[in-house]
Structure 1
């Protein structure tokens, strides 16, 4: 196991900057997920850590050693790719030990490594099969096992589950999480799938346009996103982001917004905070997660009409219209009927305020 430090790393392709001053610290045993849309630079950064791409500036430090000029094979990392990249004519056993044989490991060492890895990944009954005789999930476990036999300092995963169907992805997420809990090897995992990021990571790095937007725990980036990009990117359904301004009332602060200026949407936010006070009368964006809304049994709250109900089994996603503003809410199964008029309140301790110009979170 090892720590990983990325210091002011830049990567340019001619005049195009792909990575812009990246700074990330990964502690020993952490599971770091690089998350972002396609083209944000996350795979380029992973390849730079692996030594497959040279950096234009900055340092990559593994276990206290600057590895910029150390070739990939000597960095003591193991990479699992999006494609399984298994040798089709070799059995699972030979696929697992191929790298060890090339490095001159003894048969005893190879056998011990296969037994250890096969037990962890439940490959014992598959060792004499060839890749064509395996399911997609089994092939991915073999690809993971081939990386594990090396006992590397760092595991690198490049969107390893994107080729699997929905059920297999769920199963393999659990396998990868159990694997990390058992071996506790420092891991860097690239994905554009926020569900993978939220369920696997101990720390998430959200990237956009070659820049780091936020580094934090899954709870941090979900509950307190740094800006509107993260607020909209993280979460399914996405955060409701409503433009308007704050007004001070005797009862507290009120958000006033919506497209109908004559009949605006008003949401009570409770007592005024110091951060909110600066935005009284100024344009801003209110951020509210669907589950931060609640049905009101009394007169409190604002009126909305149910437009769409999407039952998922565990929840009902209920799209309502409030004074012309579409709002996505999340309730228990059975709640909400199309055309129903409801009263909604929000949890004032959860709502977020974003600056209308910079789009940065201010509270």
Structure 2
């Protein structure tokens, strides 16, 4: 196992800056996911780690060694691509052993590694087939196996599941997670799919516009996003983010929405910190996940309670995604099956202990 440190890395093409002062530390055995929208710089960063792209400035350090000037073959990394990149005329067996043969590995060692990897990835019965005779999931396992026979210091995955259908992606996510639990090799994985990131990662790096927005565990990023970009990017459905301001009413701190000027959305926030009270009279954004909304009895005057009209119901089997409108403020609630009918007025409550507060100007989360 090996560590990876990315220090002050910048990457520019002409006058266009793709990576801006990126700093990331990956410990031995961690599964790091680089997550962000298309064009955010995540694949460029992965290619820089692999040595396929030179960095403009900064250092890439593997196991304490600065590798900026090393060729990809000298970095002891293995990369799994989106396109599988298998040799179509070779059997699975030859695809798996070809790299070892080129490196001069003995036949006995080749056979031992072949057996080890084929057993882990359940390829034993497929060794004599050609890639054209395999399913997409099987081809991806062969691509992973070809990387594994090297026993590299670091695995690099570049959106390896994006070519697969939904069921295969789910199956392969489980395979990759099992693989990491078995071999515990340090892994850097690029994706734009937040479900992959949340289910696979021990640590997630959220990127946007070449800038690291947050580095944290999946749960921390979900519950305590650093800013509005992360809050909206993570979660399906995404976090409800409502603009407005705070005001004091009869000694209570109230959030007042901005959409309906005559009869605005109001909600009692309950006990808030002194830090949040400093925003009374100032623009602010509150954030809350759809599953933090619950159905309440009518006319309960408690913190977090509000009423809203149901506009659209999207049943998923295990949940109902309910689109709501409260005084012109749109929300999404994740409710139990059977709850919510279009046109119905619902009495709801937000868990005020979980509500997040963001500065409307900086879009950063207010540490309360």
TM-score tier by shorter-chain length is: over 0.9
Q: Distance in 2 between matches of 1:4 and 1:296?
A: 49
Shift of 1:250: 3.9
- The 5 Å alignment of 1:10-29 reads 10-29=10-29
- The 5 Å alignment of 1:1-363 reads 1-250=1-250, 252-300=252-300, 301-363=305-367
Give SS of 1:17's match. Answer: strand
Structure 2 length-normalised TM: 0.97
Q: Distance in 2 between matches of 1:272 and 1:83?
A: 51
Q: Where in structure 2 are there 5+ consecutive unaligned residues?
A: none
CA deviation profile, 1:79-104 (whole Å, cap 9, x unmatched): 00010100000000000011000000
Shift of 1:332: 1.2
Q: Distance in 1 between matches of 2:278 and 2:158?
A: 43
CA deviation profile, 1:204-250 (whole Å, cap 9, x unmatched): 00000111000000011111111111111111111111110112234
Give SS of 1:204's match. Answer: strand
Shift of 1:344: 1.1
Q: Judge which range, 103-112 or 249-258, deviates more.
A: 249-258
Give SS of 1:306's match. Answer: strand
Q: Distance in 1 between matches of 2:278 and 2:325?
A: 29
Give SS of 1:275's match. Answer: helix
- Aligned residue-pair number: 363
Q: Where in structure 1 are there 5+ consecutive unaligned residues?
A: none
Q: Distance in 2 between matches of 1:185 and 1:324?
A: 51
Shift of 1:251: 6.0
Q: Distance in 2 between matches of 1:36 and 1:75?
A: 26
Q: Distance in 1 between matches of 2:24 and 2:355?
A: 28
Q: Distance in 2 between matches of 1:266 and 1:345?
A: 12
Shift of 1:254: 1.5
